[in-house]
Amino acid sequence: MIGTAAVALANARAPNPLDAMLAEAGLVNGWNKTEPSMWPLPRTDFLPAHWSYAQAAAVLDAAGAVVSTELVERRNVILANPFPGNRYPTVRTMVSAYQMVKAGETARSHRHTANALRLVLDAAPGMSTIVAGKRIPMEPGDVLLTPNWHWHGHANESSANGYWLDFLDVPLVQFLGPMFFEHHPDRFERDAPVDAASAMRFTWNSIRERLAGEVEIAPGRCEIELGDPAFQTMSLHVSRAARGKVFRYGPTTANAIFAVMEGDGASDIDQRGFVWSRGDVMSVPSGCAMTCRTSTQSYLLRVSDAPLLRSLDWLRPIANACPEQGCAITAHGSADRPDFQRADLGRAPSSIWPL
Ligand SMILES: [Fe+2]
């Protein structure tokens, strides 16, 4: 009887007395919601996308003529995911941006609760970042960490413009709320001693050396993790694949951003095709699978929110994530990793996971 009454109320077009009672009490009915609050498979507005370093660098060079040195820390271009109306996140929990600092410029030191990391793309000797009072060289291919609430600033004491990619968990911090930011009282930490061997730095040389000694996970392909993980919210992996290799990631509940450290190739992300080269970036939102094909030996940096999801027991594979797009998603992980093929829908292996 109650069920019949609820259905009748849900279907009623005319205002009914309950509407006034709900409004008066500051309540919203749960029997006739305009949007469901749960659904059977993960949903996302975020799209697979690709950004070209060559195009971004051209924009930054043009911006260098009009965006003053006083605003150098904001002279960046944001890789906003291209779903309608979005102006900021690259994937749900993370944002990426290209940044340029001109020769002779310094970027004001500051700190924030968002975790950040950088991948240096082009820099001449004399570029450095100062993290927690130590000056760390910025050389092409280096990955540099700036954890939560660490002071950091940048200096370009070379004769060439410097370019890098930023990755931050700002969208996650915005959602959860604990955002704090402040400028350094000295504006810039000038007397910082050099610390080339900083724990905040993964040099390009050390990354390649580690990969050279790593056991292959598939013929012509190996992968290492930077950090364990690098942050509680973001993990970093570098994959090296020989020329002509094909490999696959996902789909899982994790979001990932891929950056090309070296090489050329192409990727299909949920049936969208992208051709990439050094410095380019791709978004792989949760639920998307990516297949890569290398044209030359390639190094890919993968920044993923998998540690965050794993810590909450929400990291798992997704089957049939986009049936409306006709995706034939049946595998539960990388085609390179047979152990993932045995995984059922549900909990992911805790120690290894492709995203
Ligand atoms: Fe910052």
pLDDT tens-place string over residues 187-229: 888 788 999 999 999 999 999 999 999 999 999 999 999 999 9
Task: Spell out the long-range contacts of 222-229 with Cβ–Cβ below 8 A and sequence spacing 24 or more.
Answer: 226/143, 226/202, 227/145, 229/306, 229/307
Pairwise pLDDT comparison (3 vs 240), residue with the higher score:
240
- Mean pLDDT of the 54-64 span: 95
Strand order in the sheet with 95-101: 76-78, 95-101, 162-168, 116-122, 143-146, 201-202
Pairwise pLDDT comparison (40 vs 83), residue with the higher score:
83
Ligand 1 geometric centre to CA of 189 (Å): 14
What pLDDT, in 10s, does the model give residues 140-166?
A: 999 999 999 999 999 999 999 999 999
Ligand 1 geometric centre to CA of 152 (Å): 7
Local confidence band at 74 (pLDDT 50, 70, 90 cut-offs): confident
Q: Average the pLDDT over each of 25-39, 82-96, 273-287 and give the range with the smallest value.
A: 25-39
Are 349 and 343 in contact by the 8 Å Cβ rule? The answer is yes
Ligand 1 geometric centre to CA of 15 (Å): 52
Average pLDDT, the chain: 87
Which of 145, 167, 147 minimizes the C-alpha distance to 89?
167
Q: Is the pLDDT of residue 54 over 90?
A: yes
Ligand 1 geometric centre to CA of 70 (Å): 15
Ligand 1 geometric centre to CA of 110 (Å): 6
Q: Which residues contact 172 (CB under 8 A, 6 or more apart)?
A: 93, 94, 233, 305, 308
Q: Is the pLDDT of residue 344 over 50?
A: no
Ligand 1 geometric centre to CA of 103 (Å): 19
Local confidence band at 179 (pLDDT 50, 70, 90 cut-offs): very high
Domains, the chain, ordered by start: 49-204 (2.60.120.10), 216-341 (2.60.120.10)
Ligand 1 geometric centre to CA of 321 (Å): 35
- Mean pLDDT of the 30-37 span: 88
**Pairing status of strand 116-122 against strand 127-131:** unpaired
Confidence (pLDDT) at 9? 55
Burial of 148 (0-12, 13-18, 19+ CB in 10 A): middle
Ligand 1 geometric centre to CA of 114 (Å): 8
The C-alpha R_g of the chain, in whole angstroms, comes to 23
Ligand 1 geometric centre to CA of 314 (Å): 29
Ligand 1 geometric centre to CA of 284 (Å): 24
Ligand 1 geometric centre to CA of 148 (Å): 10
Q: Is the pLDDT of residue 58 over 90?
A: yes
Q: Is the pLDDT of residue 328 over 60?
A: no
Ligand 1 geometric centre to CA of 150 (Å): 9
Ligand 1 geometric centre to CA of 116 (Å): 7
Q: Is the pLDDT of residue 335 over 50?
A: no
Ligand 1 geometric centre to CA of 315 (Å): 28
Confidence (pLDDT) at 354? 41
Q: Average the pLDDT over each of 3-12, 25-34, 273-282 and give the range with the smallest value.
A: 3-12
Look at phi and psi of residue 278 and say left if phi exceeds 0, alpha if psi is from -120 to 50, else beta.
beta
What pLDDT, in 10s, does the model give residues 41-53?
A: 888 999 999 999 9
Ligand 1 geometric centre to CA of 104 (Å): 19
Q: Is the pLDDT of residue 346 over 50?
A: no
Local confidence band at 80 (pLDDT 50, 70, 90 cut-offs): very high
Number of residues that this document lists for the chain? 355
Ligand 1 geometric centre to CA of 273 (Å): 33
Ligand 1 geometric centre to CA of 332 (Å): 36
Q: Is the pLDDT of residue 343 over 80?
A: no
Separation CA 214–CA 323 (nearest Å): 37
Confidence (pLDDT) at 17? 87
What pLDDT, in 10s, does the model give residues 91-100?
A: 999 999 999 9
Confidence (pLDDT) at 332? 32
Ligand 1 geometric centre to CA of 112 (Å): 7
Ligand 1 geometric centre to CA of 146 (Å): 8
